[in-house]
Amino acid sequence: MRFKALFFFTVGFLLCGTVVKAQDPNLANQYFMDGEYEKAAALYGQLSEQDEDNEYFFNRHIESLLNLEKYEEGEKVLKKRLKKSPEDVMLYVAYGNFYERQEKLDEANLQYDKAIAKMSGDYASVTRLAQTFVNTSKFDLAVKAFERGSTLMKDPNRFAYNLGDLYQRKGETDKMITCYLNALAADPGKLAAIQTRLARFLSPSDYTQLQTQLYEKIQKEESPDFVELLAWSFVQRKDYKSAFRQYKALDQRLGENGQRLFKLAEEAADARDYDVAISAYDYIVTEKGSLNPFFFDSKQASMECRRRKITEGYAYTANDLQILETEYEGFLTQFGKGRQTSSIIIQLADLEAYYINNLPKAIALLEEMKVMPGLERYTLARTKINLADFYLISGDVWESTLLFSQVDKDFKEEQIGQEARFKNARLSYFNGDFQWAQAQFDILKASTSKLIANDALDLSVFIMDNLNLDTTSAAISLYSGAEMLVFQNRFEDAFAKLDTLRREFPEHSLQDDILYLEAQIYEKKRDYVKAAALYQEIVDKYPQEIRADNALFAMAQLYETRLNDLEKAQALYEKVFIDYSGSVFAVDARKRYRFLRGDKMQ
């Protein structure tokens, strides 16, 4: 019995001791968090003695002694541990921190330098020490660690990428660029990562330094990665012409299929640098041949860019349009009319309808295309929507609404179906069926398309403001009729109808809307100065009306894209998001303002 009792006592004692020992770290942490550093120091000291490999216990022990200002005791602990482990560089870091906390900076730096000097020449040891310095914002010491690591490993670019990150933190852009380029030389696989870093941290003026260093690198070693990065840098500065020159040289040197040039052409076209886009597309067509995978898309895109270059210009002539029409027709003669050339047929029909004013030819092109066998369903839907627009312009309302309804039915929950539904509702609005139109617009306010949702909201509010509060729909009927005339390009008839509206309803709240529609007519007529003046009149006379923010945003776009006064455009965009913060244009206005101001856009 005595033996049995002794056994249970011993086991119980051991278990109890185990529990106490297991609780010691938690208890020590609690003392430290509560500021009871005397108790924390005692426990961390015991824990550190029991587990000498645990840096956390050791550092907390030293930290507790520092907080108690027991400097002599702390130094004894450090020296004792260093005597046991003189090659443990993290002890020198702890020693340096110990001196730094006492504001003995020279002694601290001496210990930090010892840590770097004693560092092992392997990747893990170097990165661990350097990261320790980074974590305490000692970037210069981290640089020293990486540089010594490179020397020890006999690889000058082994830590170039890490050094680039450090110089970025230090704000030394030139050195950052140098290190990133060295990293790229050592590992071409880092190109995408380096592009991301440079795009994030370089200011517009810094790209000159990047290009200077790249030219120097290319002269010494003709690395394709440096050429690609140089071309990329030109794209970042919207210098597509220089980028084209570099990408073309790279394509020729590597014997590629033109993929880089195709992507560049797309970016240039989006930025409205049509000359470069056309040159890049034409290069693919002429140099790569008809068997190239980008041949056909390049041929079509080149045609589209030529059309946009002419039709978005200030002063195209009938001869310009005729030349473009001949190019389209020549393309279709060469490659035929079919599924593969469907986008070209749609573009030619647009050209005929909106610029050459040959509606019968536009309608004939799309009617023929509508019955083509094997036409992709979305292409067929786009064909029907465009054809419906052309019928509406020509005055055939019934055929127009029939086509819109077909697309709406076939694509009920998709964006192209919502577009057709919106246009059908707008057609009802043109024809004076305001209640049905408003019901449709209210549904479309939740459209996944921001453009459709905004337009639907505008028209819904417009109908509500000008119909529900009136005893008659005569005024809004005149206005909606004028809008249909504008859509049909019957501008003089539209002006006449608006004059009638002014004369018969001089006190009606539609006065700002009349000016707005007249401004849009002048935009279509390419009289941008007159259009801007009318928009300004709305802002001056009717700042509280619903067209004020529309007019302000439209005027800003005119000054940016047509009148070439970017300073004025920037000021107008700023006014939109400050004075009309609730406007649907506020977010886009802020983006354009920041872009024109030169902010870096993510």
Judged against a pLDDT cut of 70, whether residue 3 lies above it is answered with: no
Give SS3 for 356: coil
The three-state DSSP-derived secondary structure of 573-589 is: HHHHHHHCCCCCCHHHH
Distance, in Å, from the CA atom of 458 to the CA atom of 467, rounded to the nearest integer, reads: 14
Confidence of residue 99 (pLDDT cuts 50, 70, 90): confident
The distance from CA 506 to its chain's CA centroid, rounded to whole angstroms, is: 47
Indicate the DSSP class of residue 563.
S
What pLDDT does 385 receive? 97
Indicate the DSSP class of residue 374.
T
Percent of the chain having pLDDT more than 70?
95
List C-alpha distances in Å: 537 to 137, 516, 544, 586: 57, 9, 13, 20
The per-residue pLDDT for range 7-29, each reduced to its tens digit, is 333 434 333 443 344 447 888 78
DSSP string, 264-332: HHHHHHHTT-HHHHHHHHHHIIIII-TTSTTHHHHHHHHHHHHHHHHHTSS---HHHHHHHHHHHHHHH
Choose among 484, 506, 503, 505: nearest CA to 493. Answer: 484
Query: Residue 394 corresponds to which tokens in the numbers above?
Result: 């020509």
Residue the block writes with tokens 């079919």: 338
CB atoms within 10 A of CB 333: 9
Q: Are 158 and 173 in contact (CB under 8 A)?
A: no
What pLDDT does 470 receive? 57
Judged against a pLDDT cut of 70, whether residue 30 lies above it is answered with: yes
Domains and CATH numbers, the chain: 510-597 (1.25.40.10)
Indicate the DSSP class of residue 189.
G
List C-alpha distances in Å: 346 to 340, 372, 383: 12, 13, 7
Q: Are 558 and 519 in contact (CB under 8 A)?
A: no
Give 50 or 472, the one with higher predicted confidence.
50
The one-letter amino acid code at 557 reads Q
Confidence of residue 602 (pLDDT cuts 50, 70, 90): low
Query: Residue 69 corresponds to which tokens in the numbers above?
Result: 């200002």
Q: Are 382 and 346 in contact (CB under 8 A)?
A: yes
Q: Say what the pTM is.
A: 0.71
Confidence of residue 45 (pLDDT cuts 50, 70, 90): confident
Choose among 266, 169, 182, 241: nearest CA to 217. Answer: 182
Distance, in Å, from the CA atom of 237 to the CA atom of 210, rounded to the nearest integer, reads: 12
Judged against a pLDDT cut of 50, whether residue 373 lies above it is answered with: yes
What pLDDT does 471 receive? 59
Distance, in Å, from the CA atom of 96 to the CA atom of 140, rounded to the nearest integer, reads: 15
Confidence of residue 537 (pLDDT cuts 50, 70, 90): very high
Give 359 or 454, the one with higher predicted confidence.
359
Indicate the DSSP class of residue 158.
T
Length of the chain: 602
Mean pLDDT of 266-281: 94
What pLDDT does 314 receive? 56
User: Out of 27-36, 445-454, 554-563, 590-599, which region has the weakest mean confidence (pLDDT)?
Assistant: 27-36
Mean pLDDT of 575-600: 91
The one-letter amino acid code at 14 reads L
List C-alpha distances in Å: 233 to 212, 217, 230, 243: 11, 15, 5, 8
